[in-house]
Amino acid sequence: MVDAYEGEVLSDLYKKSRIPEVYNALTLEMKGDYKLVFRMYDAGMAYRFETAIRRDITVMGETIDLDFPHARQAWVPYIRESIHRYQASYESPYTIQSFNEMHADSLIILPLLIENENGSKVVITEADLEDYPGFYLTINEARNGFVAEQAGVPLAETPGGHNNLQSIVTEYADYIARTKGTRTFPWRVLTVAQTDVELLDNDLVFLLASPSRIEDTSWIKPGKVAWDWWNDWNISGVDFEAGINTETYQFYIDFAAEHGIEYVILDEGWSESTNLLNIIPEIDLQAIIDHGKAKGVDIVLWAGWAPLRHQMDEVYAKYSAMGVKGYKIDFMNRDDQPVVNFYYEAARKAAEYEQFVDFHGAYKPTGLHRTYPNVLTYEGVFGLEQVKWTTYTDFPRYDVTAPFIRMLAGPMDYTPGAMNNANRSNWRAVHSNPMSQGTRCHQLAMYVIFESPFSMLADKPTNYMRESASTEFIAALPTVFDETQALDGQLGEFILMARRKDNHWYLGAMTNWDERDLEVDFSFLPEGEFEALIFRDGINANREASDYKREVIKVNRSTKLPISMASGGGWAAIVSPE
């Protein structure tokens, strides 16, 4: 009675190169020209509608009603700092609450995690979101589950928000989508895990997404990028005024070239805010691109989404001809039907010019990175930028929570890499010269644990030059992998991950503000002797969070290595065959 499927997806832009896909499906063909399709994987379930209606349809709403009769509590990312109900940045720390404590009037963004009384976890999200709005949840009236809510189709918009480059919806229709009558709808996904660690290596969203629509993906180059905005262009020891100007970017390029960093990004400021075709006079973009080209460093441009929406063809044509490789597209902050369609158009057209995109100000990933592999990463995370202004002081806990929940949906552009690190009592929000919460090694481990095929180096080149050992270590870490193994972890407490690229293994561990001892069991290694380059918290890392110890030791598959992490600490290693 059921369809059994067994297959495998291949990717060279993912956390593993071979992704097995095994499921049983149940299809119910209903009276009224529609089907319901259910898929059961070992890691969870998914269902979706499929319609076969000849004419176009108008969708008034969808009922997604999910009850959890044995729930103990949930990790709730409430929408925050919204301009209005359906317009926010999708960057939220988790509030841990029982169902009775939840705020009935607040929208919850996805993914949402529910813990059952027996400790098992369910994570709700969606996949293959196309030509349709995303969904939010709110606690239901009975307080035993959730009901979904979706933005209507915008009828009127006006420029506003950040530097006037967002597009604020002033009027919504009473319907959520106008679309083709014959189509599939997004998958509603419930990941189910007996143990927390299973959530760290989950492929459901990727597998449920539509297959790649880009035939030749060989031109898509993942990698790391020297970033300007987080460090506020604050370089020192140079003979020119630092800022958004040609000399500063040439300096960033020289730094990137020296360390084998693939990209330099020009964040907001290189062009007029609302006109991406007007470059400011301080920037000689061709000179910057050519300087990079001579040194093997490629250039990526930031772009506000609303201006890009209107200038997409001209922008892509002009800057690809000049040699630009990709865009960080920002401030969508919506997931109504036209904005979801914008993601597809931005990715599809960029691919025509062999350019990639990084969606900032973005809703959670729903698998677009499989459908358009030139989508390298997405924000939708409470990332390192928050330490510039936040009052939130529990970042190390967030760092060992988001990988179980948000990262299950796909890559996250958290933008790690702070070289100024602070313990719990020293940390302050500083906008222009920021510091991270937790230790140096906590930051280094992020490059292993946080998935992002396009990964920022947040700090300034002068800090990285001063901290050359840490910088060399970060530079040596790949951003895509052949294999991923979640070795150990507990939601909100700690994570220990191993990833393999070719015959090198990359290990990372992080803890919350609690000091923690773990044991690394190297039995994942093949036979043979290996050399491990290790960065561990220094003995004084609780006092001075940037304190670390670098060491090289021999390991093999029978090694069991005790490690100690400081408060907000971490541990990272590169393991290579001798």
Partner 1 sequence: MKGMKNHAVLILLFLTMALAPLEAQHPSYQVASPDGSLELSVKVDERIGWTLKQNGLVVATSPSIAMELEREGVLGHQAAVRRSW
Q: For binding to partner 1 (CB under 8 A), which residues are involved?
A: 1-4, 22-34, 36, 38, 40-42, 44-45, 47, 49, 51, 53, 57-70, 114, 116, 118, 120, 122, 145, 175, 185, 190, 192, 194
3-state DSSP assignment of residue 531: strand
Nearer to partner 1, 40 or 96 (CB): 40
Nearer to partner 1, 25 or 322 (CB): 25
Report the alpha-carbon distance of residue 49 to residue 61 in Å, rounded.
13
Nearer to partner 1, 176 or 315 (CB): 176
CB of 152 to partner 1, least distance (A): 13
Q: At what angle do helices 285-295 and 246-259 cross, to 10 degrees?
A: 20
Assigned token pair, 263 = 């990209």
Assigned token pair, 568 = 């907000």
* 399, HSE (Cβ side, Cα atoms, 13 Å): 39
Nearer to partner 1, 114 or 497 (CB): 114
- Bridge partners (DSSP) of residue 504 are 501
CB of 117 to partner 1, least distance (A): 9
* 464, HSE (Cβ side, Cα atoms, 13 Å): 33
CB of 277 to partner 1, least distance (A): 40
- 297: Cα separation from own chain's centroid: 23
Cβ–Cβ < 8 Å for 56, 179: yes
Q: How many residues can be counted in the chain?
A: 578
Nearer to partner 1, 193 or 402 (CB): 193
* DSSP code per residue over 265-292: EE-TTSEETTEEEEE-TT--HHHHHHHH
Nearer to partner 1, 143 or 424 (CB): 143
Nearer to partner 1, 38 or 524 (CB): 38
Cβ–Cβ < 8 Å for 445, 571: yes
CB of 67 to partner 1, least distance (A): 5
Nearer to partner 1, 49 or 344 (CB): 49
The three-state DSSP-derived secondary structure of 200-269 is HCCCHHHHHCCCCCCCCCCCCCCEEEECCCCCCCCCCCCCCCCCCCHHHHHHHHHHHHHHCCCEEEECCC
Positions marked active-site: 330, 385
Q: What angle do CA 546, 505, 195 make, to 5 degrees?
A: 85
Most distant CA pair in the chain, distance: 75
CB of 26 to partner 1, least distance (A): 4
Strand order in the sheet with 548-555: 483-490, 494-501, 504-511, 570-577, 530-537, 548-555
Q: Tell me the C-alpha to C-alpha distance, in Å, between residue 455 and each of 128, 255, 451, 461.
A: 24, 16, 8, 15
Q: Tell me the C-alpha to C-alpha distance, in Å, between residue 409 and each of 180, 200, 393.
A: 26, 11, 25
Q: At what angle do helices 305-322 and 285-295 cross, to 10 degrees?
A: 60
CB of 365 to partner 1, least distance (A): 22
CB of 383 to partner 1, least distance (A): 30
Residue 221's CB is within 10 A of a number of other CB atoms, namely 16
Report the alpha-carbon distance of residue 475 to residue 460 in Å, rounded.
14
Pairing relation of β-strands 375-378 and 356-359?
parallel
Cβ–Cβ < 8 Å for 58, 213: no
Nearer to partner 1, 73 or 231 (CB): 73
Cβ–Cβ < 8 Å for 200, 490: no
CB of 247 to partner 1, least distance (A): 57
CB of 210 to partner 1, least distance (A): 19
Residue 55, judged by CB atoms within 10 A of its CB (0-12, 13-18, 19+), counts as: exposed
